[in-house]
DNA sequence: GTACGTGCAAATGATTTGCGTTAAG
DNA sequence: CTTAACGCAAATCATTTGCACGTAC
């Protein structure tokens, strides 16, 4: 189980399948079911977070709140930390009465260096 | 096909399944495959947008750029229009060099009135 | 022995694909 | 006739579930 955490720190925003393949090199007998079960546990413990892009679910080790930049072409994700932006967004929404807001995250869509040829 | 668009305007952020059920009352012989095919066409034409929450894909008629407030409990989504927030976010990211940013969207997570009992 | 995490295989659910049919120009 | 959209059934893909087993306390 600690194996998952280890992996989370290394790769950037892998899918469940990518995690499975990576862990398999260390634990050849592991199955996807086990990976999913552990991801679920880690999620419920708040140790990791899931991000959804174009219907693809990816996971990341949860550090502090941050934002994401996503390539519209290859779906690559990079983090963008900015407490300032978080604060500003929360400021904007402060008098929303139908929801009790708990957190916020901004997503930027664009094309990464690799994909603009 | 125009039927889909019609629906998009009415319901708020329905899933493919909800769209299917709604359209079926008008066109009883329609199938999910047709709904998916049309959703794909509308997406590629830029007439609708998809939003992903907790692995659930929802669709909305594309109007102008806006943000979303999502209930962590029931996954209900409501829109939050704020050009000001959009502008601020783009301002924050302006000297990002690895990505050519095209758009941005902020998501707020919270609990809706209905779900806080 | 009791409980928990595992591997495995089967089940589920969403989305996609292939294909024969149909309606419109 | 030709094309594009459709309905249908089967296929695919991600994720989940049930269950029997082995290890640790």
A36: which nucleotide lies closest, measuring CA to C1'? Answer: D15
- Are A110 and A67 in contact, with CB atoms under 8 Å apart? no
Cβ atoms within 10 Å, residue B98: 12
- Nucleic strand D near CB of residue A69 (< 7 Å): no
Per-residue confidence (pLDDT) for residue B12, from 0 to 100: 79
Per-residue confidence (pLDDT) for residue A63, from 0 to 100: 74
- Nucleic strand D near CB of residue A55 (< 7 Å): no
Flag whether residue B105 sits within 8 Å of chain A, measured between CB atoms.
yes
Query: Which of B3-17, B62-76, B103-117 is predicted with the least confidence, judged by mean pLDDT?
Result: B3-17
Interface test with B, best of A85, A106, A115 (most B CBs within 10 A): A106
Q: What is the phi-psi region of residue B84: left when phi exceeds 0, alpha when psi lies from -120 to 50, beta otherwise? A: alpha
pLDDT (tens digit per residue) in B58-93: 998 877 889 999 988 777 889 999 999 999 999 999
- Protein residue closest to D15, using CA and C1': A36
Nucleotides of C under 7 A from a protein CB: 5-10, 14-18
Per-residue confidence (pLDDT) for residue B46, from 0 to 100: 85
Cβ atoms within 10 Å, residue A49: 18
Per-residue confidence (pLDDT) for residue B18, from 0 to 100: 92
Q: Residue A27: CB partners within 8 Å, gap ≥ 6?
A: A3
């Amino acid at each position: 189980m600690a194996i998952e955490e280890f992996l989370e720190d290394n790769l950037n925003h892998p899918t469940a399948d990518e995690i499975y393949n990576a862990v398999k090199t260390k634990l050849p007998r592991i199955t996807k079911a086990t990976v999913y079960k552990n991801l679920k546990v880690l999620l419920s413990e708040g140790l990791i977070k899931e991000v959804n892009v174009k219907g693809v679910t990816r996971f990341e080790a949860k550090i502090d709140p941050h934002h994401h930049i996503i390539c519209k072409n290859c779906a690559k994700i990079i983090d963008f930390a900015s407490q300032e932006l978080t604060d500003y967004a929360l400021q904007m929404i402060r008098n929303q009465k139908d929801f009790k807001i708990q957190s916020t995250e901004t997503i930027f869509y664009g094309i990464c260096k690799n994909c603009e040829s």
